[in-house]
């Protein structure tokens, strides 16, 4: 089955929700009970019968868990599959239908927390959860980290958009795709949030190097200036260079030096070195 949102490939996973956790605990209790009954000092027949009964119940309870079909590309939930009572048509006899248990596809259910918490608070909680999971899987599983980042994208998180843009730009964990990287940075910049300056800086870099978009120093300078005004030191350094060298479309030596001083104060060593060279040149 293809994803309904992006048409990507899908696979079945076991969601960690209240229902599946309850079933896991039930199976664990049944397993401990079965093993305990087998080792009890009661009559051999009772121990054996009780043990087999509980281990058999443990095996049957394995069919109770719910699985979820997730998109590998965008991380969207497509459908759930769970055990349900339904009516089956027997292959023989006069009876037209009998009740039976079957695993059916059902709409993705909202979690217990989602039903109890206000929608805005739940969205913040989910963003916090996926941020932690993306960071936790950074070194161990790139695929899982990207899946959580794509969940952040769906939730409208700036951080998810910027990190996905950086991954597609560098080819880290995904196939290098400058078009996708540019779209992610562009979407993050349009949100006008606290992290907007990082997206604007990356857009400036892509315009400066001609990645996906035509090489345009003046356009790059515009993005660097926007990020510099928000206090991002690397953008302040690039903006200073652009104004001093004139590749922003015009020259403004004094403004360029001011940006260099701000970048140097922000810890950019190249900016400090550039200021020292400029001071020697002007002597």
Pick the closest to residue 148 from 70, 67, 80 (CA basis): 70
Would 75 be classed as within a structural domain?
no
Predicted local confidence at residue 40, as pLDDT: 65
Q: Report the distance separating Cα 87 and Cα 96, nearest Å.
A: 9
121 and 145 within one domain: yes
178 and 118 within one domain: yes
236 and 193 within one domain: no
Would 279 be classed as within a structural domain?
yes
244 and 194 within one domain: no
Would 37 be classed as within a structural domain?
no
192 and 131 within one domain: yes
Chosen domain end from 210, 235, 268: 210
Predicted local confidence at residue 261, as pLDDT: 93
Q: Is pTM, for the whole model, over 0.75?
A: no
Chosen domain end from 210, 228, 263: 210
Predicted local confidence at residue 203, as pLDDT: 95
Predicted local confidence at residue 165, as pLDDT: 94
Chosen domain end from 192, 210, 228: 210
Q: How many domains, in total, are found in the chain?
A: 2
Predicted local confidence at residue 110, as pLDDT: 61
262 and 199 within one domain: no
Predicted local confidence at residue 38, as pLDDT: 66
198 and 246 within one domain: no
Would 222 be classed as within a structural domain?
yes
Mean pLDDT by 10 residues, the chain (283 residues): 68 75 80 71 61 67 74 70 74 69 74 59 83 85 84 88 93 90 94 90 94 92 93 93 85 90 93 87 71
Would 104 be classed as within a structural domain?
no
Residue-number span of the structural domain to which 122 is assigned:
110-210
Q: What is the CATH number of the domain that holds 273?
A: 1.25.40
201 and 114 within one domain: yes
Predicted local confidence at residue 234, as pLDDT: 94
Would 71 be classed as within a structural domain?
no
Would 96 be classed as within a structural domain?
no
162 and 120 within one domain: yes
Distant-in-sequence, close-in-space partners of 37: CB < 8 Å, separation ≥ 6: 47, 50, 51, 54
Q: Report the distance separating Cα 67 and Cα 81, nearest Å.
A: 5
Would 135 be classed as within a structural domain?
yes
Q: What is the CATH number of the domain that holds 188?
A: 1.25.40.10
258 and 205 within one domain: no
């Amino acid at each position: 089955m293809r994803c309904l949102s992006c048409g990507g490939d899908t696979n079945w996973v076991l969601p960690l929700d209240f229902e599946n956790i309850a079933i896991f605990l039930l199976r664990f209790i049944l397993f401990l009970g079965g093993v305990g009954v087998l080792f009890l000092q009661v009559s051999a027949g009772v121990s054996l019968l009780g043990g087999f009964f509980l281990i058999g119940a443990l095996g049957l309870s394995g069919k109770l868990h719910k699985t979820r079909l997730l998109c590998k590309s965008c991380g969207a939930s497509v459908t759930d599959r769970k055990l349900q009572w339904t009516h089956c048509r027997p292959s023989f006899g006069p009876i037209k239908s009998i009740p039976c248990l079957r695993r059916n596809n059902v709409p993705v259910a909202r979690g217990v927390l989602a039903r109890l918490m206000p929608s805005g608070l739940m969205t913040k909680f989910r963003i916090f959860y996926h941020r932690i999971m993306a960071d936790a899987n950074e070194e161990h599983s790139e695929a899982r980290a990207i899946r959580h980042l794509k969940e952040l994208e769906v939730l409208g998180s700036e951080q998810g958009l910027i990190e996905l843009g950086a991954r597609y730009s560098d080819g880290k964990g995904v196939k290098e795709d400058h078009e996708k990287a540019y779209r992610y940075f562009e979407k993050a910049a349009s949100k006008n949030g606290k992290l907007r300056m990082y997206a604007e800086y990356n857009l400036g870099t892509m315009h400066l190097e001609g990645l996906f978009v035509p090489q345009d120093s003046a356009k790059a300078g515009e993005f660097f200036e926007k990020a510099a005004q928000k206090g991002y030191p690397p953008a302040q350094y690039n903006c200073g260079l652009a104004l001093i060298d004139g590749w922003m479309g015009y020259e403004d030596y004094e403004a360029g030096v001011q940006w260099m001083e701000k970048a140097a104060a922000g810890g950019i060593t190249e900016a400090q070195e550039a200021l020292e060279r400029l001071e020697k040149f002007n002597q």
